Chains A and B, each alone.
Chain A
Amino acid sequence: MKKNVPSLTTTVNGSTIKVDKVVKTICPRNCFDTCGVVAFVKDGRMLKVEGDPDHPITRGHLCVKANTYVQRTYHKDRIKYPLLRVGKRGSAEFKRASWDDAFDFLIDKLNYCKKKWGGESLVEYLYSGNREFLAKAISGRFLNLYGSSKLVGSFCILSGLAGATFTTGTQHCQSIEIWSKKAEVIMIVGHNSSFTNVHSLPFLWDALERGAYLIVVDSYLTPIATKADLFLQPRPGTDGAMVLAMINHIVKKGLHDREFIANYTYGFDELMKEVSKWTLEKAAKVTGVEPEKIAKAAEIYATYHSHMETGWGHQRYTNGHQTQRAYSCLAAICGHIGKEGASCNYFELLAYKGLLNFDRVMYPRGAPHKTLKRRLINISTFGPALREAKDPPLKAVISWRGGLISQHPNVHRMTEVLKKLELFVSMEIFMTDDTDWADLVLPASDTFEQWGVHPSYWHPYLQIQMPVIKPLYESKPDIDFWCELGRRMGYEKFFPEEYTGLDWIREFLADDISHSTIKNALASNDPIRVPEKYAPRIPWSDRVFDTPTGKVELYSTGMVEKGKKYAGDWHPVPHFEETAESPVSRPDLYKKYPLMLISQHAPYRTHSQWFNIEEIQEIEGPPSIFINEKDAADRGIENGDRVKVFNDRGEISVIAKITNRIKAGVCEVNSGIWVKSNGSANVLLEQLIGGPRDVGAGIMEEYDFERDGHTIAYFNCLVQIKKEGAYA
């Protein structure tokens, strides 16, 4: 249904102009919102972007970042042509090369590695810089033909996903269009929607204005927490203890949903046995939240028609899988699952459940079949895997759409292991931390220069990423790079030259998304509501739970089964264990490093992207650390002082911002700051991951991304802060 036909007349730089072309596309960053975008083009140049008013969720608004897309796309620092390393690795000294020379270099190296160590000595490093799915599937086709190791997992959400999946089965989200109209109580957990999910806010405000009650749980006073009727601020990594006490309190008060428990859950008695250990007072002692507040949150959540949005902050700890388990169980014992306006949202898996035909693209007829075993490498332990892989060792890495150095913990160990590679290729838009370490830097095309397919992981809409302008400079769209590499390496028949992005999209989308739907979608490129079989309107309204017992598993038989096969924390009822690096679990470290470091996602970046954009830098200011008033006073630190933040793994130099948004004993550095600016929190982190499965260095034969877990424990870090000198 079209509401607006974008006009060719628009305003740019304070005046009205007429453009040649208006294209509707999508912002394909790794973000809940996946905004509809309208791009205005004149004489082949994109002059302006604005939000697409026809997008039912993002409604014509863009975030602080997307408004700078024109500046970013035409930024003077875009990588314009291939670069070959001339200096030492890490020295960032390069010479210009042609694409022919670049391919020759790359193919020689790949052939050498394959001959010497075998195909599995190569692994791609791919994350979500452009979260569009099509090029990922096409790189998958090449790597399958080549026989490389296969990258699996995600370091962002999977511990929580395992916790949620073991409880309620396959995860889908009830759309905010629905729950925001019906929920009486809204509980937001570990989710700073005000920065990472801004387009949820108008829906949320409408709900609050109509009288809904907002509970927020976060270790950080987020903007959304400032709007809450009740805000609980547990010590980082202790939500689990609090939730177990909430469940205990709810049942003691008789506020649980007996009928739902009896009909649709499994293992209530076992859960009760575990939670009976958790009194309000005990939880208060562990979490630092007053017992009255825990009780109040529990009573209000249980009593009314309550919806829970669980984000991902609370699961970025070594105990994250159990924390999400506890939240999902809390929703279940109150019966707040599968009802209009009362569900427990974690992640919308629509992209992974048949809507996108990965198999057809990755394993075409005549290529090695998908059942052929390839060694799996877990992205959450990418550094350890590079260090420890044998038979064969990992010797070649092609990194694209990701920040291998900026996004992984213990950066210094990562750069050490990069020195030992035979080949490190970085395909990028800007000279980032990664490119500095590459042998070959390839100029990638950005968002507006290529085709793509992008379903959301939070709302049920899919949109096509459209090429708005021609690839800039000598950059190549990701699809073109992988196809050309394939052709040059002798797989011509699998990468037909005449294939357009659109041909690939037709092959990629499920058969029940008809060509006419795609054609219609492309004519206007309005968002497509994904068919309900891939993204149900009210998940679990049929009370069918994809767990071994077919019920909501308070006692997880799925975890028990997994535990028979793999090492890990398969404790079948949610339980609380201190995180691996906390004041309680590591009193030895705590003596030296008495502050817990967490890192929120600021509105200024998606991960490390936009760090170098001046329009953003002038808002955020130089890399900084939030430090509590008391901790600052104890150290003689004043607002604006330059401070050193350090532990045994490294140190960074940042500006102190004194605050009370975090409690004493906690400090916060925004995530995604580039390592070379000397302000990246990841320099200080230990290589720790959440469970449930223990994968060691992450070199695996089998992997179940819905149930095995592995979120990097980004918030498990103890540090000390020292004043350096006043910041001029």
Chain B
Amino acid sequence: MHNHHKAIFVDTFRCVGCHACETACKAENGIPPGPKWIQVMEVESKVAGEWTIHWKPMACMHCGSPACLKVCPTKAISKREEDGIVLVNKDLCIGCVECFRACPFGAPQIGEDLRMQKCTLCIHRTSKGGIPACVQNCPSEAMYYGSLHELSKLIRKKYTVRSIGRIASVVNPTLRPNFV
């Protein structure tokens, strides 16, 4: 995987599980009820004696070494060199769901045409300089799109702003584990 390959980063501190990314994706890509190219998952857990909830929007990770690609018997899955987007060619897909079994993230979806479909990183937008619909729409501004290089810088900046913010805080609470 190269540094210029594109990805989505979710700041999970900012995500509140409002699910707007799911319907933004569906509206943009014309997906009927059923397959979900992105889905917000929720986990409730106890942290330091207090109950809390975590959310994570899950789409295709567009992996550097995609497990789905390796198992596809018809070579329907490919990864683009220019931006790293993992795509499925519906004409070649036979709907065997080997990719479904191989993917650790549950990204592959099956539509009514019995072929695999999944997040394309809004290739119709991103290949023309746009950003994915879920990212653009996120009301909480929790999602970011960019090259791995750009995202790495962004995450570093976020961490720095927050740690300085906490030091500058007049109340100065203990750092929250999910905040930094």
Contact = CB atoms under 8 A, between A and B. Distances in A.
Interface of A: 11-16, 48-51, 58-65, 67-68, 70-71, 184-185, 194-195, 198-199, 201-202, 205, 208-213, 221, 223-224, 226-227, 229-231, 300, 304, 603-604, 614-619, 659-661
A13 B117 CA distance: 14
A181 to B, nearest CB: 13
Contact of A205 (B14, B34, B171): B14
Contacts of B167: 211
B124 A15 contact: yes
B51 A64 contact: no
Contact of B124 (A16, A51, A604, A614): A16
Contacts of B78: none
B105 interface: no
Contact of A619 (B19, B29, B54): B19
A185 B169 CA distance: 9
B22 A64 contact: yes
A209 B162 contact: yes
Contact of A615 (B26, B53, B169, B170): B26
16 contacts: A11-B125, A11-B130, A13-B30, A61-B138, A63-B18, A67-B20, A201-B140, A202-B141, A210-B168, A211-B166, A213-B171, A224-B16, A226-B53, A229-B171, A304-B171, A617-B33
B124 to A, nearest CB: 5
B176 A62 contact: no
A328 B161 CA distance: 33
A661 B45 CA distance: 10
A509 B163 CA distance: 48
Interface string B89-115: 000000000000000000000000000
Contacts of B18: 63-64, 194-195, 198, 223, 603
A58 B24 CA distance: 15
A68 B130 CA distance: 21
Given A194-B140, A209-B158, A604-B19, 17 more contacts: A11-B122, A12-B28, A16-B128, A49-B27, A60-B136, A61-B20, A61-B137, A62-B137, A65-B23, A201-B141, A205-B14, A211-B168, A213-B170, A213-B171, A223-B55, A226-B53, A615-B23
B82 interface: no
Nearest to B39: A619
Contact of B16 (A210, A212, A223): A223
Interface in B124-180: 124-125, 128, 130, 136-141, 158, 161-162, 164-171, 173, 176, 179
A209 B128 contact: no
B40 to A, nearest CB: 8
Given A64-B19, A619-B19, A202 B53 contact: no
A14 B120 contact: yes
A211 B19 contact: no
A195 B46 CA distance: 22
Contacts of A659: 44
The 6 closest A-B pairs by CB, nearest first: A13-B30, A211-B169, A67-B23, A223-B16, A194-B16, A198-B139
B168 A68 contact: no
Given A68-B27, A198-B139, A198-B140, A63 B20 contact: yes
Contacts of A194: 16-18, 140
A177 B132 CA distance: 27
Contacts of A221: 51-53
B19 A11 contact: no
Given A226-B52, A619-B19, A213 B173 contact: yes
Nearest to B11: A205
Contacts of B28: 11-14
B170 A304 contact: yes
B145 to A, nearest CB: 14
Contacts of B24: 62, 67
Which of B34, B44, B164: most chain A Cβ within 10 A? B44
A571 B159 CA distance: 50
Interface string B2-39: 00000000000110111110111011111001101000
Contacts of A210: 161, 165, 168
A184 to B, nearest CB: 5
Contacts of A63: 18, 20, 139
A304 B141 CA distance: 28
A115 B35 CA distance: 58
A615 B33 contact: yes
B120 to A, nearest CB: 7
B141 A205 contact: yes
Contacts of B52: 221, 226
A309 to B, nearest CB: 15
Contact of A300 (B23, B26, B171): B171
Interface in B36-92: 36, 44, 46, 50-55
A661 B53 contact: yes
A312 B140 CA distance: 21
Contacts of B30: 12-14
A387 to B, nearest CB: 40
Nearest to A51: B137
A199 B139 CA distance: 6
A63 to B, nearest CB: 5
Contact of A67 (B137, B158, B165, B168): B137
Nearest to B161: A209
Given A195-B18, A208-B165, A223-B53, A68 B44 contact: no
A647 to B, nearest CB: 27
A666 to B, nearest CB: 13
B16 A201 contact: yes
A185 B48 CA distance: 23
Contacts of B128: 16
A201 B171 contact: no
Contacts of B16: 194-195, 198, 201, 223-224, 227
Contacts of B19: 64, 603-604, 619
B39 to A, nearest CB: 8
A602 B130 CA distance: 31
Contacts of A205: 13-14, 140-141
Nearest to A67: B23
A688 to B, nearest CB: 30
A24 to B, nearest CB: 17
Q: Which of B28, B140, B161, B165 has the most CB of A within 10 A?
A: B140
Nearest to A9: B128
Nearest to B173: A229
Contacts of A51: 137
B108 to A, nearest CB: 17
A202 B18 CA distance: 13
A663 to B, nearest CB: 9
